[in-house]
Chain A
Amino acid sequence: MTTTRPSDLDTALSLLRQTGARPRSGGTDLTACLAHGVLAPAPVVDLTGIAALAGIDWRQDGSARVGALTSVHELSADPGLRRAYPALARTAEALATPQVRRTATLGGNLLQRNRCWYLRNPAFDCFQTGGGSCPAREGDHLHGVAVDQGPCVAPHPSTLAVALVAYDAVARIEGGDEGAGERPVADLYDPGDPTRDHVLGPAQVLAAVSLPAPAPASGPPTCGRPGGPGPSGRWWR
């Protein structure tokens, strides 16, 4: 299992295309999946050296482009993002743990493996691992979806995605047969297809997420009490 660390996107994309390697940014989820046997070992293309995937840029019209390598911590701490997209910053701040937030990235969070306890348990097969059913549907789905839309009953694990969808954010995708393109963050996922976590092909990379300029004096409605009580704010996800 070799790891390469290209410094430009084109090299990374051609490595992914030619070698069938797996892209990696912060690596938090990938490492956990390997450790628990959710994923088999494979060569890795480490994206963290690619400047084109990093940084937060503001455009003239007040919209923002957030590079996929931006850490979850940066999302929560960046003064511009906090001002313009408070729901995103607050979601980032409540995610996982301080240590994980500093390592995990926006791109990795959006494209992480599902956290369903059946998927992550090697004792079970499901749609994602070559099985023909969802064991959680028949089994224990205490933390399953509230609105049943597809064959898989696990909710998507990315809370950042929820905030980004609320802001009508758009994902920039590089690589693959059709070349670079943009699509709404919601369209990174296909609820009708339970066999995969997102629609990106193996040689595609999520490069950045763009958020439209915030509407003046509005923003998505918040629920819950700001800085309010409760353990889950400090907990995983």
Chain B
Amino acid sequence: MDLEVNGSPAPVSDAPGATAADHIRDRLGLTGTKIACGDGVCGACTVLIDGSPTVSCLLPADALPGRSVTTVEGLGGAHPVQRAFAAHDGLQCGYCTPGFVVSAAAFTDAWRTEHGDTRPDRDTVADALAGHLCRCGAYEGVFAAVAAACAGDFDTEPDQDPPRADAHDKITGRAAFTVDRAPRGCWEGVFVRSTHPHARIRSLDPAGARVDAGTGAEAHSTPVFVDLLGGDRVVRYVGQPIAAVAAPTRARARAAAEAVRVDYEPLPAVLDAEAARAPGAPVLYPTREERKASPSHAEGSELPAPWRGNVRGPFTLGWRAGTAMKRLRAAERADDPRLVAREYTTAAQLHTALEPHACVADWSTDATLNLYMSTQAVSDMATAVAERWGLPRDGVRVITDHVGGGFGAKAAMTADVVASVELSRLAHAPVRVTLTRAEELTDTGYRPGTRTRVALLADDGGDLAAMSVDSYGDGGVSHGSMAATLAALMYGRTPRRTRDFDVVTNQAPGAPFRGPSAPPMAFALEQAVDEMALRLGEDPLSLRRRWDGNARRQALYDRVAELPVWADRPRGRRTGRFRRGVGLAASTWLFLVSPKSKVELTVENGAVVVRSATQDIGTGIRTVLRDVVADRLGAPPSSLRVEIGDSTSVHGSGAGGSRTTNSMGPAAAEAADRLRRALREGSPGVPPSGPVPEPALKEALSRAEGLRVVGGRSLDRWERMSSLLSGDADFAVGRGLIGAVHVMEVEVDTLLGRVRPTRCWAGIAAGRIYSPRLARNQCEGAVVQGVGYALFEERRTDPATGAVLTDNLEDYRIPGLGDVPETEVYFHEEGFEHVPGGGVGLGEVSAVGVAASVANAVSDATGWRPHDLPIRPDRLIEALR
């Protein structure tokens, strides 16, 4: 029987056990269809089978013959819903987008047949696309896009270009991610991972796999093996890479990996923080050398702290700390009702980027080491790879066209990179290492769990008199928590003491995750502030307006006071099964910058090419570069070509710490200004500012063929605040704190214990906004991730071994369209006039306070304050019983 794909006959599968997704991607080369969860949960692999949306990862390839398949490539790009996704920016990184548009196209067509050109409501769209997940959280754009396409708004090509520069590539499936790269003759690499939480590896038997460069014919087909253990030969968690194996096919590589024999000498393990702190507990890092070599999950360099057994810390910050502690102790002794002291815990949150970690390394020749890498730091990774393998920097090339989400987990050199490089060297072939979803959710990091004690004391006038925050991070074998330290940045300069600790255990390491340490801080601190407002009988907004010295957040509070969702919120005790509540949370993040960022502009064939070794992880730097250069140069955006994601370009910022836009934007502006000056020298017809008339631009560029200018991101003394956290990396702290205020409305089902966020207002004070639609999308997505953190997300492990149980998207639940509130984003654009470009980053600050606002809303609705995240149904029911 024949198979029809996108209207043409296609070969059927002859690979035993293959899924339809494998067949479509590997055999037919239609890589627009993505695989993310492999469990039919996320919908990234959705195709139409005989017109019906189907998850191709759960469809056996041998069920395809006789059917008609339509993939995203078959939609062509001009389907109204594709246009609408681009115009309404219903996407960020673009990895889930092909699946979304395939389902949305089927829904839109069916809807219009049945209902004519009318708008479906939000719940209808959420139900229709309930089989799709977007980790970036571009749901507001998706809702708008689907409704508009159903209404017939996109039956013709819109006049305006979409706001996102790479939207068209993403809605058509043309955007190539690292997992889509399979150079000719590419081998597949897989890991051998530890099955013990703590063990010394006595020996490793590669079981026939080749461990050296080999000779003759066997060098071209025998599987190759690399040992990935450190010098101490110790594994410290279940899932830690021990070795990696590559073979010409994935099946052979898997078989070779299964054949590897590992001889473990089990060592005593500690699997939770309590056991790790018990007297006589086995110590993970007994020596100074081991402690020094142990991994950090901090962003940038880690805060210094002493060790005692398995506890690292404290790192203490104080401002009249003695006074603070004296006041708090006295208040405790006196049972002062104005003392609010409680402990809060948060669960570990998995990044869950839909594109797994992946690297394709080609070291088959002695010339350049070429890498396709799913990374947030193209330039830094090229440098790191060159250093690790002793190569000149220009002997390494890292290419990252598109990244299917990172959120912090793809900012360092990960095991997939090390394995693929080593294996490629042995195999004399390119080697691709792609993590499975189970590996991705086991060993690529997470936001560590925390246990945080907050004590706040108010004085007779209701002012904050003292504050103390102690926080213990639970990041497995890693450390670097700074939740308490970040609390020191909030609520003025009242006497205070903050202390951060880490407890190390035999669990996989954490990694920086969007606003590292800040969401748990806000969850604890903002609830304590609300509790204080309750004690003082004061409105939570009014209390924050009195306590909060940050002028940018004050501007946001002024807006909150006017918001109907806040001003008209229900008051008093609520009864009945469904109870509505509104909560508020303030938050902060540092202004970070990469002062070494550069942007290069070259005139090539009469056009301007924008280049930098930065990368777009969905946040939109490709668009920002295009728009900034277009604006400063006075050229239409369509006349520019942006080529990023290639380490051979000038150094660009890594994506992390909300620093990409504010680092790259000014560099792009400087480059454009330089190019403009250079063009004016040859062509006086180019005006000094404003748009350049098209003929003048054309003529100027033709005279300047080959011209190359570079702009940089300088950081003067006034802008720079501190070199704290900077280390050697391209990382500095600027002056001024970024602020945000979230207002959340929830409906609590007190019978079933469910919390449904209904409306959210996100006020962001990050200075001037470079690209309003993309910035809004990112802030809306932050609300989605924050709702997940508040209500569902919880990495759970087996108490006996530490094996991750939530290693799939069925058991690790992230929010879908039906789970998220209608969100309005407001930007307060003042306050960063001292920064070139006037704007700073918002990726982190937009995420920090969301879970705290959900918790305060739940408390407002029910009278019960959640002290533990996530706010699960069982916890709510237990509390309200």
Q: List A residues at the B interface (Cβ < 8 Å).
A: 1-3, 24, 27-32, 34-36, 41, 44, 46, 48, 96-100, 102-103, 115, 117-118, 120-121, 123-124, 135, 138-140, 142, 224-225, 228-236
Known interface pairs A35-B19, A41-B16. Does A97 touch B130 (Cβ–Cβ under 8 Å)? yes
B468 on the interface (CB 8 Å rule)?
A: no
Contacting B815 at CB < 8 Å: which of A24, A35, A231?
A231
CA of A44 to CA of B799, assembled, Å:
37
Interface pair A121/B807, CB less than 8 Å apart: yes
Q: What residues of B have a CB within 8 angstroms of the CB of A121 in the complex? A: 438, 803, 805, 807
Please give the residue numbers on chain B whose beta carbons come within 8 Å of chain A beta carbons, in ascending order: 16-17, 19, 38-41, 43, 46, 52-55, 57-60, 62-63, 103, 126-132, 195, 238, 438, 578, 747, 749, 751-752, 754, 756, 791-792, 796-801, 803, 805-808, 810-811, 813, 815-819, 874
Expressed in whole angstroms, the Cα–Cα distance for A41 and B251 within the complex equals 13
| Cα separation A2 to B39 with both chains bound (whole Å) | 22
Pick the contact of A230: B55, B756, B808 (CB < 8 A).
B756
Write the chain B residue with the least CB distance to A93.
Answer: B127
A125 to chain B minimum Cβ distance, whole angstroms, is 12
Are B54 and A230 in touch, CB under 8 angstroms?
no
Chain B CB within 10 A, most for which of A35, A36, A102, A123: A123
Verify B819–A31 contact, CB threshold 8 A: no
- Asked if A117 meets B805 with Cβ closer than 8 Å, knowing A41-B17, A231-B816, the reply is yes
Residues of B with C-beta under 8 A to A96: 40, 131
Given A230-B754, A234-B130: A124 touches B103 (CB 8 Å cut-off): no
Q: Assess whether B806 is in contact with A32, with CB atoms less than 8 Å apart.
A: no
Bound CA–CA A102/B63 (angstroms): 14
Check if B754 sits within 8 Å of A231, measured CB to CB: yes
A100 to B438, CA, bound (A): 21
What's the Cα separation between A30 and B769 when bound, in Å?
A: 49
Q: Which of B132, B799, B805, B807 gathers most chain A CB within 10 Å?
A: B805
Q: Which 8 A-B pairs have the closest CB atoms?
A: A97-B131, A234-B130, A231-B819, A28-B58, A229-B756, A1-B16, A230-B754, A234-B818
Interchain CA distance A174-B346 in the complex, whole Å:
52
Bound together, the chains give a CA A121 to CA B796 distance in angstroms of: 13
Rounded to whole Å, the gap between the CB of B425 and the closest CB of chain A is 30
A228 touches B749 (CB 8 A): yes
Across the interface, which residues of B come within 8 angstroms of A29, CB to CB? 58
B754 and A232 form a contact (CB under 8 A): yes
Task: Find chain B residues with CB under 8 A from A233 CB.
Answer: 818
Give, as a whole number of angstroms, the nearest-CB distance from B442 to chain A: 10
Contact (A115, B810) CB under 8 Å given A32-B58, A99-B46, A102-B53? yes
Flag if A100 contacts B40 (CB, 8 Å): yes
Which of these, A103, A120, A142, A235, contacts B58 with CB under 8 Å?
A103
What are the residues of chain B within 8 A of A103 when measuring CB–CB? Answer: 54-55, 58-59
List, in ascending order, chain B residues with CB within 8 A of A230's CB.
749, 752, 754, 756
Q: Is the CB of B131 within 8 A of A99?
A: yes
* A233–B754 alpha-carbon span in the complex (Å): 11
User: How long is the Cα–Cα vector from A236 to B818 in the complex, in angstroms?
Assistant: 13
CA distance A108 to B844 in the complex (A): 44
B816 touches which one: A30, A124, A234 (CB < 8 A)? A234
Given contacts A36-B38, A140-B796, 16 further A-B contacts (CB under 8 A): A27-B60, A28-B58, A30-B60, A31-B60, A96-B40, A99-B131, A100-B131, A121-B438, A121-B807, A123-B238, A138-B799, A224-B752, A230-B754, A231-B816, A231-B818, A235-B816
CB proximity of B754 to chain A, nearest CB, Å: 4
A231 to chain B: closest residue by CB: B819
Distance in Å: Cβ of B433 to nearest Cβ of chain A = 18
| Cα–Cα distance between A165 and B309 once the two chains are bound (Å) | 56
Specify the chain B residue showing the minimal Cβ separation from A123.
B803
Nearest residue, chain B, Cβ from A101: B131
What's the Cα separation between A140 and B60 when bound, in Å? 32
**Of A34, A46, A98, A120, which one neighbours B808 at CB under 8 angstroms?**
A120
Cα distance, A3 to B19, chains bound together (Å): 13
Decide if B438 touches A118 in the complex (CB within 8 Å).
Answer: no
Q: Which residues of B contact A224 (CB under 8 A)?
A: 751-752
Contact check, A99 vs B60: say whether CB atoms are below 8 A apart.
no
Residue of A nearest to B754 (CB): A230
Indicate if the CB atoms of B52 and A139 lie closer than 8 Å: no
| Smallest Cβ-Cβ distance to B803: which chain A residue | A123
Chain A residues with CB under 8 A of B815: 231
Residues of A within 8 A of B46 (CB): 99
Across the interface, name the chain B residue whose C-beta is closest to A237. B810
- Please determine whether B128 and A229 come into contact, CB atoms closer than 8 angstroms: no
Which residues of the other chain, B, contact A138 by a CB distance below 8 angstroms? 799-800
How many Å lie between the Cα of A142 and that of B813 in the bound state? 14
- 8 Å CB contact of A31 from B58, B438, B808: B58
Q: Is B799 touching A139 in the complex (CB atoms < 8 A)?
A: yes
| A117 B806 Cβ-Cβ under 8 A | yes
- For A48, the chain B residues whose CB sits under 8 A away are 63
B60–A98 CB distance below 8 A: no
| Contact yes or no, A140 B805, CB < 8 A | yes
Measured CB to CB, the closest approach of chain B to A212, in angstroms, equals 30
**How many Å lie between the Cα of A121 and that of B19 in the bound state?**
20
Report yes or no: B754 in contact with A229, Cβ–Cβ below 8 A.
yes
CA separation between A135 and B801, bound complex, in Å?
A: 11
When the two chains form their complex, are residues A100 and B55 in contact, meaning their CB atoms are under 8 A apart? yes
* Minimal beta-carbon separation of A65 from chain B (angstroms): 25
Shortest CB distance B850–A (Å)? 16
